[in-house]
Amino acid sequence: MRPSEDWDKNTALRAEETLGYVFRDKELLKQCFTHKSFANGKKERDNERLEFLGDAVLQLAVSESLYLRDGTDEGKMTEARKRFVSRDALTRAAEKAGILAFLRYAGGEDTVRGKTPSNLFEAVVAGIYLDGGMNAARNFLKRFLSESVDGNYKTQLQEYVQERKKRPPVYETEERENGFGCVVRALGQEARGFGQSKKLAETDAAEKLLRRFKERIE
């Protein structure tokens, strides 16, 4: 992430290309990416109120999608929704979308760790919803949220490996300057992952290794 202080027409265009959505209200687009640390002392609106709305839009969109699935009971829908809207899931979606590069913030990297990526994703969802309606928000979520919450990849990998060998996958995770890196090894193969937290890095590595195993089968 970097402080995108110079928000101009070119920045807006690149942000829209990343989102896959063109805003009619360019000020709303800029607000989506304005952290409160940047707005303090300036006559600019930050994205905190958008985060609030984005959370509700996410809940509705995910609930609707789960409801429309055949044969899914209430308990399973509730558990699935928790995975879709969890902080880890939204953080992974934000990283996948590449929206962190456009965040406008003040201070060092510590300012924008923790909940900031997931909050930014919520703000962007709200902005798209306000500007283009629910269908536009749904389309954005389909691009970036679905793969990020397709179950627990570490659990899936462990089950896959243990069906073939008793020894579970081995994770080696280390902190880096801009996040965490992880190498996971199992069944003579390895994959590398990255994330803003140790858990996200391990999940990313597990997903990549699991995909590799499945591609070999197919």
Q: What is the DSSP letter of 163?
A: T
Does residue 207 contact residue 151 with C-beta atoms inside 8 Å?
no
Identity of the residue numbered 70:
D
Give the integer Cα–Cα distance in Å for 213 and 216: 5
Give the integer Cα–Cα distance in Å for 56 and 54: 5
Q: Spot the catalytic one: 46, 51, 95, 122.
A: 122
Answer yes or no: 55 catalytic. yes
Answer yes or no: 159 catalytic. no
Helix (H) or strand (E) holding 42: none
Residue 89 sits at φ, ψ, to 5 deg, of: -65, -45
Identity of the residue numbered 11:
T
CA 39 to chain centre: 23
Q: Spot the catalytic one: 46, 51, 55, 207.
A: 55
Write out the catalytic residue numbers.
Answer: 55, 122
